[in-house]
Amino acid sequence: MSRSSKPLPATADAPSLRLAPSILSADFARLGEEVRAIEAAGADIVHFDVMDNHYVPNLTIGPQVCEAIRPHVKIPIDVHLMVEPVDALVPLFAKAGANYITFHPDASRHVDRTLQLIRAHGCKAGIVLNPATPLSWMDHVMDKLDLVLLMSVNPGFGGQAFIPATLQKLREARRRIDAHVAAGGQPIWLEVDGGVKMDNIGEIVRAGADICVAGSAIFGAADAAGSYRGVMTGLRQAAATPA
């Protein structure tokens, strides 16, 4: 499947908020069916969490699983690398069908080089900032970023509670991105991952998020027919509700 060379813009036909269900919370025994179900329910992106039991205390999935689900969906696959080192996995996930690849800058010896490597393999590139990781990591690589992912939990496990201090960090990241774009820079998506629920997604979006990753909030809320359309519609409505 070909990968787009352009960021996904917000238009009248495409809402500024994009929902990215994290398959970390899916039923792995029927993963193809699960990703087809979230696409049919209106998901914009498949979020793919890669953990190595080294950078984070958990072990999940690799390029072969990404390659296996790629034919099941047309929407982009966003691969979040919670691994150390990073660079050796980039070409493998690009070949497996990733559209976006993000990594933690503290897990790479050369952040600029890793961003270039991701782009050279035809994917959109981004960095991931943990709750205590400063936004200053963005400053010298803004021209090579297609997205910035803010972790609103500590990486490693699904089902954690949202860390409230992320909201102010989101506002500041939004300010930096908007200033970069206003100065003629490329668009950069701002993504949030961790503890996103019906009762906080409105605050998260108002703070500046373009993409919300949700795992258990979506995969734990299928209707009787096994559809996720109801919960995703509910999340969009909650995100659009004024404060």
Q: Is 193 a catalytic residue?
A: yes
Q: What single string gives the DSSP state of each residue in 8-38?
A: ----SSS-S-EEEEBGGGS-GGGHHHHHHHH
Give whole-number Cα distances, 158 to 65, 117, 124, 197, in Å.
18, 28, 24, 13
Q: Are 39 and 74 spatial neighbours (Cβ–Cβ below 8 Å)? A: yes
The torsion of the CA quartet 102, 103, 109, 110, rounded to 10 degrees, works out to 20
Contacts of 163 (CB under 8 A, 6+ apart): 131, 152, 153, 194, 195
Calpha distance 52→201 (Å, rounded): 29
The torsion of the CA quartet 104, 105, 107, 108, rounded to 10 degrees, works out to 130
Active-site hit among 44, 146, 193, 210: 193
Residue 85, CB-side half-sphere exposure with 13 Å CA sphere: 8
Residue 24, CB-side half-sphere exposure with 13 Å CA sphere: 28
Give whole-number Cα distances, 203 to 24, 55, 97, 163, in Å.
24, 30, 33, 12
Q: Is 178 a catalytic residue?
A: no
Name the nearest CA neighbour of 105 among 79, 134, 76.
134
**Which residue do the tokens 């495409």 mark?**
14
Active-site hit among 49, 52, 146, 210: 49
Residues designated catalytic:
49, 193
